[in-house]
Amino acid sequence: MTDIAGTLGSMFSLIIVTILGYVAARCGFISADIRPKLSGLIFNITLPCTILASVGKIDASTGAEAITWSLVFGIALFFVMLAGGALACLALRVPRGERGLYLWMGVLTNTGFIGFAVLDSIFGGASVFLGSIFIALSNVFIYSIGVALLRSAGQAGRAAGVGGDGASGEAARKRRRTIDVRGMLKDMVNVPLVMSLVAMVIFFAQVSVPAPIMQAAEMAGGITSPLAMMLVGLSIADADLAAVLKQPRLWGFTVIRFLLVPLAVYVLLAPLVPSALALGVFVVMLAMPTGSMAGPIAETYGQNGELPAQGTIVSTVASFAIVPVLMTIMSLG
């Protein structure tokens, strides 16, 4: 496990880059209209390069054990996130009509952008490869069971009096179901997932990748973390912070789901798991804030996207305190 000084220094560096993104947005150098293209660049180009480059940074003597535990934790990740969200809803007495949204905020987290930036900064490049395993496995559940939660919540809202009527309403529902299936398949099978599988084949088969390719992957992947954190700064700059930060239930949900649950998981598993790196990645993945796509996807399934959008900002701001706290406790263990 990393030392506390290095952990705090790494997180402070990420905060500085986020502030630079915020300043750039306020000065007009970057704006919300370029966010989709930059996100696409990261997700489809630089992040896969980061995953590929990370394969060469894994110690062969300990890599197999860490990968095995990562496969186990990767399958468990979604269900632990879902249970943590349910516990938070119960503790905070979240109204029934909002529970689906809170559960969605608890499982659709920013593991891809902020997660990889934090992992690379704190644990080094090998952890990025392990993190890609987590994401590849958990996405299967997020875009199947997670989306089913949203759909059922949306149907409950329409049953209460919201939605179309007659043949047109039925046609719209059928059309939405068709789009849902296509969207889920598209989200589950993506470039980072494919690259994760390729990276696993390279590692276990001991495939020798030409040095120029690995060097190019490392160069391109090097912009993933700073660009991702600058996008976080852009999101914060676009938000109405005065309104968003005055949400006590969202803050309570953030503390329980993104701090207390990962902390409890670490305390329970630390004596049992021999791979400190895999456990560290698991805890970091659990602590990552709600993803920026939580609101838009919620709206796709007939839900109010404003609450998840606010949850994204609250949990992201809080993550800059939550992650150092978790890493400090883990360093003392």
- The token pair at 1 is 């496990």
- Give whole-number Cα distances, 240 to 244, 296, 330, in Å: 6, 17, 34
C-alpha distances in Å from residue 108, one per residue of 85, 122, 188, 285: 11, 22, 13, 11
The string of pLDDT tens digits covering residues 59-92 is: 666 678 888 999 999 999 999 999 999 999 999 9
For 285, the token pair is 């993945």
User: 138-186 pLDDT, tens per residue?
Assistant: 888 887 888 887 776 655 555 544 444 444 444 444 444 444 566 566 6
Whole-prediction pTM: 0.81
Paired tokens of 69? 């535990």
What topology is assigned to 4-332 in CATH?
Na+/H+ antiporter like fold (1.20.1530)
What are the tokens at 190? Answer: 């993506």
Q: Assign 271 to helix, strand or coil.
A: coil
pLDDT tens, residue by residue, 7-61: 778 788 888 999 999 999 999 998 888 888 888 898 889 988 988 888 877 766 6
Q: Which stretch of DSSP H or E encloses residue 19?
A: helix 4-26
